[in-house]
């Protein structure tokens, strides 16, 4: 399948021919559907807090001991999809045709003065003419002006304030970080995943505000820019599942989606990490509600961490075997048995197991399968507890595209809470279709993670990825059809083996900018 030149190309990317071969085989066999038990809904997988409970969670966070905090912001790639409709309009105008009055391009041109990046010296005063619309679109999208069609979202000017200050999406994340992610020494750690070719743009955006914000907010920023590893790119295939080749005969590799960022997340030393996409920010007047519910998620995460750590320490104490050092997993009865069976059969141990099972079911929707003996029960419970933790904010579904929260059945027969994308759901299956129809909430990617175990060690996150939860999508290259492989998504398969809690958060905390006209919504305007 691969010749010597192919192998050199593959290895130069930090991968191997064996890995590329495995990816081709995945195209051939596909990925299994997720077995959905039910949608996660309020009272059945989604925790809905009243004001008093929310206040307690935020207070718990404020008083918690945490071994370092970090804000993790996925911001790779250009903003080309944000301007897709404008590019279409510009093509039409260049061809001598005007655009319909109700088209996104026409609406954008008519509203240009309301955008934070509007500058009269560049755009002039907009007029109701095709030439004015063409000029506005061209000066927004191309190097005739701002060249926003080729820049990443993070460095685009999102918000203008009454005092004249203009902020990029990246700058708004810095303002958020100092509010709810400060460390005990007053610093705020922010890790931003970017493309190498955009680094200077982000460096310039940081330099423009860092000193001013540190003085204004009394904070010290530790900013790290990190790249998605090229070794995580996946091979593309043609419609017959053969490696796709470019005109010069070389293999084509494509970025493997946000799931590749699990490698970046795995490199962090901090214990608690907040994840939020680069385009999900709002005008600072919305920060009180945003910060409040981010602290609620942080509080629920460390509260869950402390309860799980308590159970693990109790298991160690009750069994007396320090089963935390037990290897290998999974436990196989009669093959890799440890300790004294009588310890596991003791009333004290079994009562503790009852308590843990009730906690897993009632709090995390984890229903444990039948255990054939007491020792198996203890080992399996410990395996379920000793995993990374994530608490995910969920908003009521308002028709936004993207994933949602579900209860699924795992391969071992247990159940768990998962975020699923539409591509993972078999619409032809009546139970899955009914679960999809009954879904009430949407995943806004507002996640808090606890990445250390109860001994203070970092988890190896790569051991908690479901490699069978990837995606195959249809794409094109220079007009030729191809199939692309995406790794298990960062908040999908890459976190499938984590302990998960879903918490409802207000819709006001979710303000993404997927298309440029979203910047006209109230959350992105000064008043």
Number of other residues whose CB lies within 10 A of the CB of residue 34: 24
Mean pLDDT of 223-235: 91
Task: State the Cα–Cα distance between residues 264 and 37, nearest whole angstrom.
Answer: 32
Q: Which residues contact 26 (CB under 8 A, 6 or more apart)?
A: 470, 472, 485
> Does 5 fall in a domain?
no
Are residues 268 and 165 part of one domain?
yes
Q: Of 191-205, 339-353, 397-411, which one has max mean pLDDT? A: 191-205
Are residues 281 and 181 part of one domain?
yes
Angle, helices 84-94 vs 130-141, to 10°: value is 130
> Does 124 fall in a domain?
yes
Task: State the Cα–Cα distance between residues 6 and 19, nearest whole angstrom.
Answer: 13
- The domain tally of the chain equals 3
Higher pLDDT, 21 or 95: 21
Angle, helices 4-12 vs 17-29, to 10°: value is 100
pLDDT band at 132 (very low <50, low <70, confident <90, very high): very high
Find out whether 144 and 138 touch, Cβ atoms under 8 Å: yes
Q: What is the pLDDT of residue 9?
A: 94
Q: What is the pLDDT of residue 402?
A: 64
Are residues 280 and 185 part of one domain?
yes
Nearest to 447 by CA among 303, 293, 309, 306: 293
Strand pairing report for 234-235 and 45-47: unpaired
Q: What is the pLDDT of residue 401?
A: 58
User: Given 99, 125, 150, which residue is the final one in a domain?
Assistant: 150
Are residues 269 and 160 part of one domain?
yes
Paired tokens of 510: 């979710």
Q: Which residues contact 335 (CB under 8 A, 6 or more apart)?
A: none
**Which regions of 259-379 does DSSP assign to beta strands (E)?**
272-276
Are residues 255 and 173 part of one domain?
yes
Are residues 405 and 262 part of one domain?
yes
Residue 393 sits in a domain whose CATH number is: 3.90.550.10
Strand pairing report for 41-42 and 45-47: parallel
For the chain, percent of residues with pLDDT exceeding 70 = 95
**Which regions of 229-372 does DSSP assign to beta strands (E)?**
234-235, 253-254, 272-276
Are residues 159 and 271 part of one domain?
yes
- Is 154's pLDDT higher than 50? yes
User: Given 121, 150, 179, which residue is the final one in a domain?
Assistant: 150
Coarse DSSP helix, strand, coil percentages of the chain, rounded to the nearest 5 percent: 45, 20, 35
Q: What is the pLDDT of residue 527?
A: 76
Q: What is the pLDDT of residue 229?
A: 82
- Which sign, positive or negative, has the C-alpha torsion 346, 347, 348, 353? positive
> Does 7 fall in a domain?
no
pLDDT band at 335 (very low <50, low <70, confident <90, very high): very low
> Does 260 fall in a domain?
yes
For residue 216, the enclosing domain spans: 23-79+153-242+250-306+387-524
User: Given 150, 169, 188, which residue is the final one in a domain?
Assistant: 150
Angle, helices 374-385 vs 347-364, to 10°: value is 40
Nearest to 165 by CA among 132, 122, 196, 209: 209
- Is 441's pLDDT higher than 50? yes
> Does 10 fall in a domain?
no
- Identify the helix (H) or strand (E) that includes residue 428: none
Tell me the per-residue pLDDT of 175-215, one tens digit each, with 9 for 90 and over. Answer: 999 999 999 999 999 999 999 999 999 999 999 999 999 99
Paired tokens of 240: 């017959």
Task: State the Cα–Cα distance between residues 85 and 103, nearest whole angstrom.
Answer: 8
Task: State the Cα–Cα distance between residues 253 and 228, nearest whole angstrom.
Answer: 14
Mean pLDDT of 501-512: 96
Tell me the per-residue pLDDT of 23-81, one tens digit each, with 9 for 90 and over. Answer: 999 999 988 888 999 999 999 999 999 999 999 999 999 999 999 999 999 998 778 88
Q: Which residues contact 211 (CB under 8 A, 6 or more apart)?
A: none
> Does 185 fall in a domain?
yes
Identify the residue whose tokens are 């001994």.
455
Angle at 284 between CA 278 and CA 286, to 5 degrees: 90
The pLDDT mean for the chain works out to: 92
Q: What is the pLDDT of residue 474?
A: 86
- Is 327's pLDDT higher than 60? no
Nearest to 400 by CA among 279, 232, 485: 279
Nearest to 488 by CA among 45, 82, 34: 34
Angle at 21 between CA 19 and CA 23, to 5 degrees: 75
Are residues 224 and 187 part of one domain?
yes
Identify the residue whose tokens are 């399968």.
369
- Is 431's pLDDT higher than 90? no
Paired tokens of 223: 């900013």
Are residues 122 and 207 part of one domain?
no
Task: State the Cα–Cα distance between residues 410 and 404, nearest whole angstrom.
Answer: 17
> Does 13 fall in a domain?
no
Task: State the Cα–Cα distance between residues 465 and 85, nearest whole angstrom.
Answer: 36
Are residues 161 and 142 part of one domain?
no
DSSP 8-state secondary structure symbol assigned to residue 369: P
Strand pairing report for 446-450 and 272-276: antiparallel
Tell me the per-residue pLDDT of 243-294, one tens digit each, with 9 for 90 and over. Answer: 999 999 999 999 888 888 999 999 999 999 999 999 999 999 999 999 999 9
> Does 344 fall in a domain?
yes
Task: State the Cα–Cα distance between residues 65 and 71, nearest whole angstrom.
Answer: 17
- Is 322's pLDDT higher than 60? no
DSSP letters spanning 167-204: EEHHHHHHHHHHHH-B-TTSEEEEEEEE-GGGHHHHHH
Tell me the per-residue pLDDT of 458-494, one tens digit each, with 9 for 90 and over. Answer: 999 999 999 888 888 888 888 899 999 988 889 999 9
**CA-to-CA dists, residue 1 to 11, 239, 242, 243, 474, angstroms:** 15, 16, 8, 8, 22
Are residues 353 and 256 part of one domain?
no
Are residues 359 and 235 part of one domain?
no
Find out whether 99 and 300 touch, Cβ atoms under 8 Å: no
């Amino acid at each position: 399948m691969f010749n010597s030149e192919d192998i050199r190309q593959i290895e130069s990317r930090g991968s191997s021919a064996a890995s590329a071969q495995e990816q081709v085989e995945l195209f051939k066999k596909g990925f299994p559907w997720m077995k959905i038990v039910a949608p996660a809904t309020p009272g059945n997988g989604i925790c809905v807090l009243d004001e008093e409970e929310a206040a307690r969670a935020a207070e718990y966070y404020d008083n918690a001991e945490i071994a370092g905090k970090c804000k993790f912001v996925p911001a790779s790639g250009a903003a080309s999809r944000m301007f897709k409709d404008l590019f279409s309009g510009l093509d039409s105008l260049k061809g001598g045709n005007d655009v319909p009055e109700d088209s996104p391009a026409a609406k954008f041109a008519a509203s240009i003065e309301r955008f934070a990046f509007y500058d009269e010296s560049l755009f002039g005063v907009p007029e109701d003419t095709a030439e004015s619309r063409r000029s506005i679109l061209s000066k927004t999208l191309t190097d005739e002006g701002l060249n926003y069609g080729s820049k990443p979202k993070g460095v685009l000017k999102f918000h203008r304030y009454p005092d004249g200050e203009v902020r990029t999406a990246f700058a708004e994340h810095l303002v958020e970080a100092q509010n709810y992610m400060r460390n005990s020494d007053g610093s705020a750690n922010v890790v931003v995943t970017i493309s190498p070719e955009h680094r200077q743009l982000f460096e310039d955006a940081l330099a423009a505000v860092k000193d001013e914000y540190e003085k204004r907010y009394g904070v010290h920023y530790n900013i790290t820019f990190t790249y998605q590893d090229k070794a995580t790119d996946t091979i593309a295939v043609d419609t017959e599942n053969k490696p796709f080749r470019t005109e010069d005969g070389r293999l084509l590799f494509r970025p493997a989606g946000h799931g590749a960022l699990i490698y970046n997340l795995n490199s962090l030393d901090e214990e608690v990490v907040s994840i939020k996409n680069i385009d999900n920010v709002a005008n600072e007047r919305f920060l009180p509600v945003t910060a409040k519910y981010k602290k609620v998620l942080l509080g629920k995460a460390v509260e869950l961490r402390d309860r799980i750590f308590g159970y693990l320490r109790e298991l160690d104490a009750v069994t007396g075997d320090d089963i935390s050092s037990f290897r290998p997993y999974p436990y196989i009865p009669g093959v890799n048995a440890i300790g004294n069976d009588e310890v596991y059969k003791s009333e004290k141990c079994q009562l503790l197991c009852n308590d843990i099972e009730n906690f897993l079911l009632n709090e995390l929707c984890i229903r444990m399968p039948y255990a054939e003996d007491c020792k198996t029960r203890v080992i399996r419970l410990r395996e379920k507890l000793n995993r990374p933790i994530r608490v995910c904010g969920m908003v009521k579904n308002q028709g936004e595209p993207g994933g949602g929260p579900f209860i699924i059945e795992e391969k071992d027969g247990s159940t768990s809470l998962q975020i699923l994308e539409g591509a993972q759901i078999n619409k032809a299956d009546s139970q899955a279709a009914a679960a999809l129809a009954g879904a009430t909430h949407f995943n806004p990617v507002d996640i808090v993670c606890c990445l250390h175990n109860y001994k203070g060690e970092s988890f190896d996150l790569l051991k908690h990825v479901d490699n069978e939860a990837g995606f195959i999508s249809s794409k094109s290259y220079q007009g030729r059809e191809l199939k692309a492989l995406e790794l298990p998504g960062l908040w999908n398969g890459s976190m499938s083996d984590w302990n998960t809690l879903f918490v409802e958060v207000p819709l006001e905390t979710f303000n993404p900018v997927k298309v440029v006209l979203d910047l006209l919504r109230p959350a992105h305007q000064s008043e």
